[in-house]
Amino acid sequence: MLKSHNRYPYVPITDRRAYEWPNRTRLAVFVVVNVEVFPFGEGMGIPIAPAQAEPDVVNFSYRDWGNRVGFFRLLELFEEFGFPASMFLNSELFEHCPQIISAIRQRGDEIAAHGRTNAERQASFAEQEERKAILEATQTIQRHTGAAPAGWMSPWVAESHVTPDLLQEAGYRYLMEWSADDQPIWLKTRSGRILSIPYPRPTNDLPMMHAYHMNPELYANILIDQFDETLHQSQKMPLSFCLSFHPYLSGHAFRIRQLRRVFQHIQKHADRVWLARTGEIAEHVAGLPAGVVPGSGD
């Protein structure tokens, strides 16, 4: 018999009840930024340049540029077009890059959790160790902001078999690790349920422009095509469209130049979409009647 995760039922998107987003549109557009910090000389980061023996100054400084420059360039882009954003932060940023936190809070963007640092993969942790990592990241954010984060994305988007259980038990309302759908769906946990908001890999900047070596102009064209077709499909059903960025990659000037075309294009259709933060999406879905969203009628 085929092994199953038993987290959510199979419900094809054509067999679901329709609903609307809060502004009576059918397409939720959201921006996710993965803001990450790495220790010096220990590896574990994506090798943007060919990996060297530690200390790998080339790759460390490439990623560090994202927190010193690239993040603020992306923030300027969001501000230019009035787009809200959800910032998924490594909790070590609060100590090492406090100006990033100040800039996020000044804009009123959502602060969500992205583990302690992307120099670790909690998928390899024992359950107690993973619970501790989640707790430490959560407490750091709560201590500095006064509020516990509602959303979580694991470092490297890497789950263990019990990650959704531990997140639900820690008070999280949604996670961003499953890309199995175009709508939010409920995942079963051992103590209840937690919402999965789609985090699609095919349009994520890291696989597209780094792993697949796609040039920024083509990447921008793909994002525009994805948006246009998703907007068309959303006439029949509610859908989501995610723009996901890493500052050390997308924050470079020649990529910002192309991303500006994407934001200009979406802005032209602002009256037909809901520009939202992921936490707002989770809150709206949680208020829908049982049976509307897959997993909500169990």
Question: Whole-angstrom Cα distance, residue 66 to residue 148?
Answer: 25
If one compares 2 and 272, the residue with the highest pLDDT of the two is 272
User: Would you report the helix, strand and coil content of the chain in percent, each value rounded to 5?
Assistant: 45, 15, 40
Tell me: the pLDDT tens digits for 63-113?
A: 999 999 999 999 999 999 999 999 999 999 999 999 999 999 999 999 999
Distances (CA, A) of 98 to 36, 106, 244: 13, 12, 22
Residues 6+ apart with CB under 8 A from 208: 202, 214, 219, 222
Q: Would you give the DSSP letter of residue 261?
A: H
Tell me: the pLDDT tens digits for 134-149?
A: 999 999 999 999 999 9
Cα 241 vs. chain centroid, distance in angstroms?
Answer: 12
Enter the tokens of residue 228. Answer: 């246009």
Tell me: the pLDDT tens digits for 186-219?
A: 999 999 999 999 999 889 999 899 888 899 999 9
Residues 6+ apart with CB under 8 A from 18: 26, 236, 237, 238
Enter the tokens of residue 117. Answer: 């640092």
pLDDT of residue 298: 62
pLDDT of residue 283: 98
Query: Domains of the chain by range and CATH?
Result: 17-41+53-286 (3.20.20.370)
pLDDT of residue 43: 77
Average pLDDT over the chain reads 96
266 falls in which pLDDT band (50, 70, 90)? very high
Enter the tokens of residue 264. Answer: 């200009």
pLDDT of residue 297: 79
Segment 246-271 mean pLDDT: 98
Tell me: the pLDDT tens digits for 147-185?
A: 999 999 999 999 999 999 999 999 999 999 999 999 999
Tell me: the pLDDT tens digits for 28-73?
A: 999 999 999 999 998 788 888 888 889 989 999 999 999 999 999 9
